[in-house]
Amino acid sequence: MTQPHILSLPDIGSEDIGRLVVAEGANLPFAIKRAYWTFDVPSDKIRGHHAHYELQQLIIALHGTLEMTVETPDRVRHTFLLDHPSKVLYIPRMCWREIKFGHGAVLLCLASMEYEEADYIRSYYEYVKLVENTTV
């Protein structure tokens, strides 16, 4: 099973001209089919609360901080603090995620599939039933 992890992507630049991180081709675990971004999230709201049957994602805090909790099918909860635009979190399929936005945070998601509601598992009870009965 592939674990969620921070990707190491080319980070180009320097202190005097600024930095640029590249997500393309062979550096990525999947081909990007969709991008979306989320912002203006009150810091007392937790977003996410779902898993995906097939979708894989890269999550980046373009601004501010994101506290990510990612539960894998073996029921281990991993936490990641995305507090810099150079940190790119890979989330494999069949992981339950919860996301806490810091003040003013902007989340960019690069995704492996176009939006499909049927790919969501929105009930934690259903998620646990699925992962306890299948090998991912």
Q: Which residues are catalytic?
A: 50
CA pair distance 33, 94, nearest whole angstrom: 18
* Cross-strand bridge partners of residue 37: 108
Tell me if 39 contacts ligand TYD by CB under 6 A.
no
Residues 96 to 135 in contact with ligand TYD, rule: CB under 6 A: 115
Output the smallest distance, CB 108 to ligand TYD, in A: 12
SS (H, E, C) 3-28: CCEEECCCEEEECCCEEEECCCHHHC
Nearer to ligand TYD, 48 or 102 (CB): 48
Token code pair at residue 120: 């969501």
Residues 46 to 85 in contact with ligand TYD, rule: CB under 6 A: 47-48, 50
Residues lying near ligand TYD in the complex (CB under 6 A) are found at 36, 38, 47-48, 50, 115
